[in-house]
Amino acid sequence: MMNNARRLLAVLILALLAASPLLAQNKKAKTSDAKAKTDTKAEAPLNALVTVTTLHRNLKKKDGSNKEWLALEREYFDKVTSKNNLILGSNVLTHYFTSDNTEILLVSAYANWDDIEKAAVRSDELVKAGWPDEKARDAFFAKRASYYADNHSDEIYQEIAGGKMMKTKPSGPMLYYVRKTHFAYPEDRSQQDFRALFDKYLQAVTYKNDYVKGYYPHVHAWGANNTEFTEVFVVDSLADVEKMFDRDDELFKAAWKTDAEQKQFDDSFNKYFDGTHSDYIYRCVAELIK
């Protein structure tokens, strides 16, 4: 197994890219090379904003079922989300291995800040068109809301260049391994070195790891903790999470062959980490992916 510092390499580099104006100016040029070699996202802008609303299942509801919940969410998806062109993509993630078994994450991507507000207005229009009868509309949303507790939280992240996009839309439940890390900003960092190392690591490791079906890196845009960086790895199964780590280690050692090279690479980045991270695993609802 590779050490934690190396596992968090992409976190640091991408976070520094987001924080650095000079590096940000070169994102498009550098990313174009990566796109030719990987499944890097083409349909959405590099700096797309991703909203994450964390809802919670209503454990007091005794007359519901997962089948009915999915039917309600699918109806809303078909009538609203799928028709709202300002929502570039969306996903619903449910608890698999996290600290809260009631969690349901609603994830949506937008081109910019203005589109987040415009999308809300457009969704309201689609709601009225989808349920023209007011009584029927109120009944639907009351039933849908009954599946959720009253509390929720919101975060907004910024997508960072370097993602490995999925080749096809999932046809069934896949696992989303989410790693949240925290980083520091040493005064002696070199922007050019980070850009070069970032590209080298992605090409040598992340893009070559076949266990990683999709990879989505984001930095904080709005929310509780500005030091947070979130990586999302999409895999087929729980076993593939561990296999992904093992394969990363093999690919890293293939690219940096000697112990001295590996140590030099690791040591160059260790000073930028605060040493903490947290892990979460969610399951996607394939029927609700846009």
d(CA 35, CA 163): 9
Q: pLDDT confidence of 1, banded at 50, 70, 90?
A: very low
Calculate the CA dihedral of residues 106, 109, 113, 119 and round it to 10 degrees: -70
Q: What is the pLDDT of residue 220?
A: 92
pLDDT at 275 over 80: yes
pLDDT at 257 over 50: yes
Distances in whole angstroms, Cα of residue 211 to Cα of each of 167, 234, 240, 242: 13, 8, 6, 10
Q: pLDDT confidence of 190, banded at 50, 70, 90?
A: confident
Q: pLDDT confidence of 279, banded at 50, 70, 90?
A: very high
**Strand, coil or helix: 173:** coil
- The mean predicted confidence, pLDDT, of the chain is 85
Question: What residue ranges in 111-213 does DSSP mark as E strands?
Answer: 153-159, 175-183
Q: What is the pLDDT of residue 45?
A: 57
Q: Per-residue DSSP letters for 202-228? A: HHHTGGG-TT-SEEEEEEEEESS-TTE
Q: What is the pLDDT of residue 38?
A: 34
Contact 183, 12 (CB under 8 A): yes
Buried/exposed 93-121: b ≥16 CB within 10 Å, e otherwise: bbbbebeeebbbbbbbbbbeeebbeebee
List beta partners, residue 229. Answer: 181, 219
Q: pLDDT confidence of 9, banded at 50, 70, 90?
A: very low
pLDDT at 18 over 60: no
The dihedral sign for the CA sequence 177, 19, 159, 9? negative
Q: pLDDT confidence of 37, banded at 50, 70, 90?
A: very low
Q: Per-residue DSSP letters for 38-84? A: S----SS-TT-EEEEEEEEB-TT--S--HHHHHHHHHHHHHHTGGG-
Report for 8-12, 25-29, 42-46, 92-96: range of highest mean pLDDT: 92-96
Distances in whole angstroms, Cα of residue 9 to Cα of each of 14, 67, 76, 175, 250: 9, 41, 39, 22, 15
pLDDT (tens digit, 9 = 90+) per residue, 55-84?
999 999 999 999 999 999 999 999 999 999
Go through the domains of the chain in sequence order and give each one's CATH number.
4-47+177-276 (no CATH), 49-154 (3.30.70.100)
pLDDT (tens digit, 9 = 90+) per residue, 214-224?
999 898 999 88
Give the residue with greater pLDDT, 256 vs 189: 256
pTM greater than the 0.85 cutoff: no
Q: What is the pLDDT of residue 274?
A: 86
Q: What is the pLDDT of residue 266?
A: 84
Q: What is the pLDDT of residue 46?
A: 63
pLDDT (mean) for 234-255: 98
pLDDT at 92 over 50: yes
In 3D, which of 195, 229, 237, 230 has the Cα closest to residue 212?
237
pLDDT (tens digit, 9 = 90+) per residue, 116-136?
999 999 999 999 999 999 999
In 3D, which of 232, 227, 231 has the Cα closest to residue 272?
227
